[in-house]
Chains A and B, each alone.
Chain A
Amino acid sequence: ILNVEQSPQSLHVQEGDSTNFTCSFPSSNFYALHWYRWETAKSPEALFVMTLNGDEKKKGRISATLNTKEGYSYLYIKGSQPEDSATYLCASGGGADGLTFGKGTHLIIQP
């Protein structure tokens, strides 16, 4: 069982501000790092999958980076909007035995 940790646990951000949060994971036997977006009363949806050290992914105002040597990934949101309010999950693994998830960062965007 991998130990995947996310920080902070929750975050309040003013609309228009940029923010970022962290996922740390074991760097040994690394396979892939996933980010999911989870809105209340919905199911998690994949944002990014990264496999290579130095990977950077971007989707609109959201981007992510990966450092497999030190075992961390950052998720950035530029110019936060109310619709960005959600829980952001990271997960490591991805081989046949599935993913191990962190506990998530609960992001609230305040108008």
Chain B
Amino acid sequence: NAGVTQTPKFQVLKTGQSMTLQCAQDMNHNSMYWYRQDPGMGLRLIYYSASEGTTDKGEVPNGYNVSRLNKREFSLRLESAAPSQTSVYFCASKRRTALSGANVLTFGAGSRLTVL
């Protein structure tokens, strides 16, 4: 059971280049998320998709676009990369715990992006 898979794990871009981070989950989760992690800032939500066919902005959406291709896949696109987007990006999906009913996030391994 792979869980949440992100690709690529590492990427170096030049300012102005575009790229897409891919995320797929095999747990039949409805909700998927993209977070970025920066030193001293914790995890900040970029975009999320509560269900297939819907996407919504999180705390720091500027400079990003997302696509919920199907229930399994949620991609994050940088149209024109900037140095401020140098970060580690985490994709996550949500399951429902049996006892509490609250939703726990399962994270991917992260994608380290450097924009020069």
Which residues in A have some Cβ–Cβ distance to B below 8 Å?
A: 1, 31-32, 34, 36, 42-46, 49-51, 89, 91, 94-104
Contact = CB atoms under 8 A, between A and B. Distances in A.
Interface stretch (B19-27, B70-78, B79-87, B98-106): B98-106
Given A1-B59, A42-B109, A98-B58, A50 B100 contact: yes
Interface residues of B, number: 28
B85 to A, nearest CB: 19
Contact of A49 (B43, B59, B102): B102
Interface of B: 31, 33, 35, 40-45, 48, 50, 56, 58-59, 90, 94, 97, 100-110
Contacts of A89: 42-43
A44 B104 contact: no
Contacts of A46: 104-106
Contact of B43 (A42, A50, A94, A101): A101
Nearest to A95: B103
